[in-house]
Every structure is written in C-alpha cells, then in structure tokens.
Amino acid sequence: MSATREVGRHCRSERQGSLSVMRSVMWFGSLFVTCASMAAVNWALVRLGLHAPYGGAAIEARIPIYETMKAVVARNYGSPAVLAVEDLPIPRPGPGQIQVRVEAAALNGCDLDLLSDQMAGVAPLEFPHVPGSDFAGTVTEVGEGVTRFAVGDDVFGTGFPRATGRFSAAFCSPLSLTTGALAEYAVLDADTPALTHRPPTLDAERAAALPISGLTAMPLLRAGQIQPGETVLVVGATGGVGSVLVPLLAAAKANVIAAAGAADEHHVRRLGANEVIDYLTADVVA
C-alpha cells in the first residue's frame, strides 16, 4: 500500500556467533500483529459472489439492482459457530464513503477475537454484525464529496467495524471503518490510508490477503533499517506477517534466515529465504 501507517509493536534482538550480523525481528503482544499473523497470504479464505462471474469494470461499475445481498452474519457474541450466511440490505454510501462489490476477503484473527467478546470493553459490536476487514473489490457507488475513487475502480484495503471507531483510531488516521467485508457489498470510508487502488498485476485474492499483514510488516522493516548483506532471522516466517516480510527483506538484498517447519521449507525459500531453520528441532534464539 502506498500509504502505510506504523502499527503494532516489535522487538529486535541481535544474535552473536558465527554470523557477523544477525538481527532477529520478533513480534508479540500487539493486537494488530496477532491479527496479521493469522492472515492468509497466498489466498483469501473467504470469497463471496453468488451472482454472475465478474466481467470487468463495465459489469462491476453498475450500482446493484437488488435490495439485498448475501453476507456472513453474527447475531450475538460467540464462537465461529454463531456465523451464518443470511440476506441483508445492501449498504449504501453516505458522504465521504464508497460502496464496493467485494470480490475477495481475508479472515483475520482479530475478526474472531471481536466476535468472541474478548474486546467488548473497548470495541463493542452492534448486531447483526458482518465480520471481515481485509478485502478487494470494485467501486460500485461513491458518496458525496469523494474524489479519490470513482465507480469502476478496482480497490483493496482494510477496515474495522464501525462500532469500534475509538479502538480503530490506533490503527490509522483518518479512521478506516467498514460495514464488513464478508459480504457481497461493503461500504467504506474513502479518505483513509488503509484503502487504495489495486494494481492490474495484483489479483483480487492476493490483494485481499495483504492489508493487515502488510501494514504490520512494513513498519518492522523500516524500524530495522536493514542494509544489503545483513543477515535477518524471521521468526514465524510462514505466518501472515512473516510471509510478507520475507520477500520484502529479500528485495532489500538481506540474507534471510526463516524459522519454519520442515514441511514449509520449499514455500519460504520460494518467498526469498536463503536459509531455513526448523523451529521444531532447533533452538531458534539460542
């Protein structure tokens, strides 16, 4: 994303020994980091689209002719078992908002944390609640005053439930709020750095899996100030954040050591890791 806000906490420890330079990038504690580490990076977990397959901007740009849409809905707090696919009214954009026809959405750990009422004290939900933050889709309607986007634009990004406004302020400013991405249509605030145009070379499923993971990985990379040739250990290289961080580090010409299970060695090497440590059989931080 072109405009990325620094979120989450990070810690960095230097490892001595046979490696001349070792920076170990680790993350823990922060809600956003926890959420992002559970995001699917190679594909979106949920894809809703019960109408005809997409055929380009000429089709996508139409304002919906239906009054209702299919959406994943929770009627009360609980486990994922409370979720069901229901018909809901299609949300319409107000001033400063856009309506998006969702092509792909990714499920994050924070979506389930909010649903389980673990954060009800700081981010109470309003029911019926449509989960889902990360998405990719096409703009189908724009509200008054919107200039960043036009009908037919392919976009992707992230947003939090509108009931979590105060909580979401810690994520980015202006706020990134949505009616919920696990639906055929979603309304989002247009003036937010967490929403941007989708490049033609980036397909919708991969775009939908990037936002929270990418918004967490980029600040870590910037804080580390990694130089070409430096050696970096990525703990959790197959998680959402790690799967974004490894190729970014490789692009920065760092020597990337990935901590991952043996079964994932081929995957993380394809992402750009030079070496792989099996965290199940080796002490990664020793």
Q: Residue 27 — pLDDT band, cuts 50, 70, 90?
A: very low
Looking at 18-64, which runs of residues are DSSP E strands? 22-26
pLDDT digits (tens, 9 = 90+) for 261-277: 999 999 999 999 999 99
Lowest-confidence range among 102-106, 159-163, 165-169? 165-169
Q: Residue 119 — pLDDT band, cuts 50, 70, 90?
A: confident
pLDDT at 29 over 60: no
Outline which parts of the chain fall under CATH 3.90.180.10. Answer: 42-207
8 A C-beta contact, residue 97 and residue 187: yes
pLDDT at 15 over 80: no
Alpha carbon distance 206, 213 (integer Å) = 12
Q: Sign of torsion, CA 54 59 62 66?
A: negative
- Averaged pLDDT score across all residues of the chain: 78
**pLDDT-above-90 percentage for the chain:** 55
pLDDT at 238 over 60: yes
pLDDT digits (tens, 9 = 90+) for 167-226: 666 667 787 899 999 999 999 999 999 999 999 999 999 999 999 888 889 888 889 999
The CATH number corresponding to 42-207 among 3.60.110.10, 3.40.50.150, 3.90.180.10, 1.10.1050.10 equals 3.90.180.10
Q: Residue 31 — pLDDT band, cuts 50, 70, 90?
A: very low
| Higher pLDDT pick, 45 / 149 | 149
Outline which parts of the chain fall under CATH 3.40.50.720. Answer: 11-35+212-278
| Higher pLDDT pick, 107 / 62 | 107
How much is the pLDDT for 251? 94
CATH class of 11-35+212-278: alpha beta
Taking residues 101-128, report their average pLDDT: 88
What's the whole-model pTM score?
0.72
Q: Residue 66 — pLDDT band, cuts 50, 70, 90?
A: confident
Tally Cβ neighbours within 10 Å of residue 133. 29
Residue pointed to by tokens 């931080």: 285
pLDDT at 86 over 90: yes
| Higher pLDDT pick, 205 / 22 | 205
Taking residues 228-252, report their average pLDDT: 94
Q: Residue 42 — pLDDT band, cuts 50, 70, 90?
A: very low
Taking residues 37-56, report their average pLDDT: 30
Q: Residue 50 — pLDDT band, cuts 50, 70, 90?
A: very low
Tally Cβ neighbours within 10 Å of residue 263. 10
Looking at 216-274, which runs of residues are DSSP E strands? 231-235, 255-260
